[in-house]
Amino acid sequence: MSDVDPPVVLIVEDEPDVAETYKLWLQDEYEVRMAKNGDEGLEMLDASVDVVLLDRMMPGLSGDEVLERIGERALGCRVAMVTAVEPDFDILEMGFDAYLSKPIRSQQLHDTVSNLLERSEYDSMLQEYYALVEKQATLEATKSSAELAESDEYDALTEDIAEMRDGLSETLGGIEDDSDFIATLRGLSADEE
């Protein structure tokens, strides 16, 4: 996320009025793209998309089917499922990162999108943190403790790791709730594939 390019939100929604409303709410802060059904949504989906707002009930490909194909492509985008009713299923077991029940209010939509973006940031910080820890472990495995004590590189690395650890616990408040926890784990498994 640079200062120049706003995050990209892709809205997949078959009702034009509803899609327009979401767009109006979001367009000041985000680059908004719109797809009017599941097929078009999958076509428009690429690595530049940060968050997908996906309607569950659509003619043609359903939201669930689209979600499955997004998962197969492992693009690293976050998906918020939009449902007509409060879901009665176990949301943790589903593959999406957040859900919203219609009707959606503006504030709610903003909160959801920004939470999902923060979660993506957490993922990349965790990746960066791992890279530092691995580097430190390599130094520790190859150098004697006397050499490590003299090494400025090792000192700097140790400091960076401490800083990054604090940063991680501040982002998302660490892992604040169950859906953050599960979505983060789901992201780990996706990275691996």
Partner 1 sequence: MYDLSSVLDFEELRDVRPGSSILLSGPAMSGKQRLAYDILTDGARDGEGAVVVSTNDSARNIAQVFQDEVPELSDSQLGVVDCRGEGGVDADALDGTFVHQVSSPGDLTGIGIGITKAIEGLHNAGRTRGRLALVSLSTMLTYTDKKTVFKFCHVLSSRLDTADYIGVFTIDSGAHDSQTLQVIKQAFDGLIEVREAEAGGREARVLGLANEPTAWKQL
Q: Shortest approach of partner 1 to residue 52 CB, angstroms?
A: 19
- Give CA–CA dist 82/102, Å, rounded: 7
Give the range of 3-11, 63-71, 81-89, 126-134 binding partner 1 by CB under 8 A: 126-134
The single residue among 20, 24, 130, 155 that binds partner 1, judged by CB under 8 A, is: 130
Nearest CB to partner 1, comparing residues 57 and 92:
92
**Residues near partner 1 (CB under 8 A), total:** 30
- Does 154 bind partner 1 (CB under 8 A)? Our answer is no
Q: Which of 29, 68, 140, 163 touches partner 1 (CB under 8 A)? A: 140
Q: Which of 89, 93, 107, 152 binds partner 1 (CB under 8 A)?
A: 93
Which residue in the block uniquely carries the two structure tokens 């859906």? 179
Binding of partner 1 at residue 62 (CB under 8 A)? Answer: no
Instruction: Rule CB under 8 A: say whether 129 interacts with partner 1.
Output: yes
Task: List the strands of the sheet with 8-12, edge to edge.
Answer: 31-35, 8-12, 51-55, 78-83, 98-101
**Smallest gap from residue 186 Cβ to partner 1 (A):** 5
Q: Does 42 bind partner 1 (CB under 8 A)?
A: no
**Residue number, 55 or 123, with CB nearest to partner 1:** 123
- Does residue 47 bind partner 1 (CB under 8 A)? no
Inter-residue long-range contacts of 126-133, CB under 8 Å, 24+ positions, other chains counted: 126/168, 126/184, 127/191, 128/164, 129/161, 129/164, 129/165, 129/168, 132/157, 132/160, 132/161, 132/164, 133/161
Of the candidates 171, 173, 97, 160, the residue with the CA atom closest to the CA atom of residue 130? 160
Are 179 and 97 in contact by the 8 Å Cβ rule? The answer is yes
Cβ–Cβ under 8 Å, residues 9 and 30: yes
d(CA 96, CA 30): 21
Q: Kind and range of the H or E element at 170? A: helix 152-170
Among 16, 60, 87, 174, binds partner 1 (CB under 8 A): 174
> Which residues sit at the interface with partner 1, rule CB under 8 A?
92-93, 126-127, 129-130, 133-134, 136-138, 140-141, 161, 168-169, 174-178, 181-182, 184-186, 188-189, 191-192
